[in-house]
Amino acid sequence: MQMNVEYRHESGFSAFFQKINGKSVLLMYDVNTAPYALDIKAELQKNNATVTDCYYQDEELIPTEDKCEKAYALAAQTDYVLAVGSGTLNDMAKSVSTRREIPCGVLATAASMDGYCSKGAALMRGGFKVTDEVHTPEDILIDLEIVRNAPRLMTAAGFGDIVGKFTCLTDWEMANIVKGEPIHESSFALMEQARSACMDAFDGLTRYEDDAVAKLISALVTAGLSMAECGNSRPASGSEHHISHYLEMDFVRRGERVPLHGLKVAIGTLVSMEIYHYIKNNRISFDGAERVYALVDKLPPIDKVKAMLEKMGCPVRFSKLGVPRETMEKTIENAYTVRNRYTVLTLAHELGLTEKLKPILMEKYY
């Protein structure tokens, strides 16, 4: 399938509108993205598309089964599903369109996360976060004016998600060394290059310059492309994401508002980097240790990453996100169990380091 990543020009999204002409579209949006949804709805109708609205009045939309079923029912007589939003709406649209066997797309409303074109959809089922395999969107529509004017905390979260590519790629290399897990070289390189371009644009990003914001959302879209090329989320998700996912399930279980994914990933990245440095600095012995120490040397200094996150407006302590102390302790102990993927969290558990690490990580990042 050819993916259309299209930036708005004076003529709008010309390639997308040409394709959608005469089709029946399910438009998915919530109270936060309604203004943009209504704008593109008018444009769709001008291009002879019939629009069915799937509107959620939730200020914080949780992708539970009942919410997905609402969209699934409305999609019965449509040819295409278009989400107007970022993480949750995008994942729900991918899930619904996969089940209905019709194509989907998304009008991105924030540079806040990296799942726009991934083959995974993070949903809540029975109180647990699950990731379903879905098809990728056919169209990613980007209006830099919308993205640049998104709430700044959402842009900070997107930057946090890209910072997480330092530890997730290191985790992949470490798993290759310790467990012989193969590395998909082209998807690894794709993600690494996009991360570097985004980091190089950091100064402009702090000023919300168009070019820099474009590099951020390009890196976030590239993360999804790299996952699609690889066939799983390894190029974009490692220990830092497992920490985020573990915390998210706890917030949902307690019925509390879930902090933005990328903010949790950002602090999770600092935690994972701290574990890597502890292993190297204490010369912890295991098969392949020297090669793993060399990987640690390639990571940017923790203080530099922390300063960049703070400049973007990311909290650097989990207590600032409303995480209870007990939950943070359990996260350090159990986040490695979130999925069957070898990361530095797994390595630390196997080396019996968890109890030694806990007070260090609590002091620095709680």
- Distance of alpha carbon 3 from alpha carbon 84, whole angstroms: 17
* Amino acid of residue 47: N
The per-residue pLDDT for 10 is 76
Q: What is the per-residue pLDDT for 122? A: 82
pLDDT value for 227: 87
Burial class (CB in 10 A: 0-12, 13-18, 19+), 73: exposed
| Spatial CA neighbour of 140 closest among 8, 30, 229, 29 | 8
Parse the chain into domains and list their residue ranges. 4-148, 152-365
The kind and range of the H/E element at 364 are helix 354-365
Q: CB–CB of 86/108 below 8 Å?
A: yes
Between CA 82 and CA 194 the distance in angstroms is: 26
The pLDDT value given to residue 1 = 53
From residue 24, alpha-carbon distances to 18, 74, 111, 116, 304 in Å are 13, 11, 28, 22, 49
Residue 135: helix, strand or coil by DSSP? coil
Specify the pLDDT at position 128: 78
- The CATH number of domain 4-148 is 3.40.50.1970: yes
CA distance 224 to 121: 11
Smallest CA-to-CA distance from 86 within 157, 24, 134 is with: 157
pLDDT tens string for the chain (366 positions)? 568 899 998 778 999 999 999 999 999 999 999 999 999 999 999 999 999 999 999 988 889 999 999 999 999 999 999 999 988 999 999 999 999 999 999 999 999 988 888 787 888 888 777 888 898 899 999 999 999 999 999 999 999 999 999 999 999 999 999 999 999 999 999 999 999 999 999 999 999 999 999 999 999 999 988 988 898 889 999 999 999 999 998 998 898 988 999 999 999 999 999 999 999 999 999 999 999 999 999 999 999 999 999 999 999 999 999 999 999 999 999 999 999 999 999 999 999 999 999 999 999 999
Q: What is the pLDDT of residues 239-252, one digit of tens each?
A: 999 999 999 989 98
Task: State the pairing for strand pair 80-85/104-108.
Answer: parallel
Residues 6+ apart with CB under 8 A from 210: 144, 148
Amino acid identity, position 276: Y
pTM: 0.89
Buried b (16+ CB within 10 A) or exposed e, 240-270: bbbbbbbbbbbbbeeeeebbbbbbbbbbbbb
Provide φ and ψ at 65, rounded to 5°. Answer: -60, -40
**CA-based torsion, 116, 334, 290, 231: positive or negative:** negative
The SS3 of residue 176 is helix
Phi/psi at 327 (5° precision): -65, -40
b/e map 301-324, b = 16+ CB within 10 Å: eeeebbebbeebebbbebeebebe
Q: Which two tokens stand for residue 331?
A: 């996260």
Non-local CB neighbours of 16 within 8 Å, separated by 6+ positions: 4, 6, 105, 139, 141
Tokens standing for residue 18: 């040409």
The DSSP output letter for 9 is B
Element (H, E) at 225: helix 210-230
Q: How far is CA 275 from CA 30, 93, 193, 242, in A?
A: 39, 37, 25, 14
Q: Any idea which fold 152-365 has?
A: Dehydroquinate synthase-like, alpha domain (1.20.1090)
Length of the chain, in residues: 366
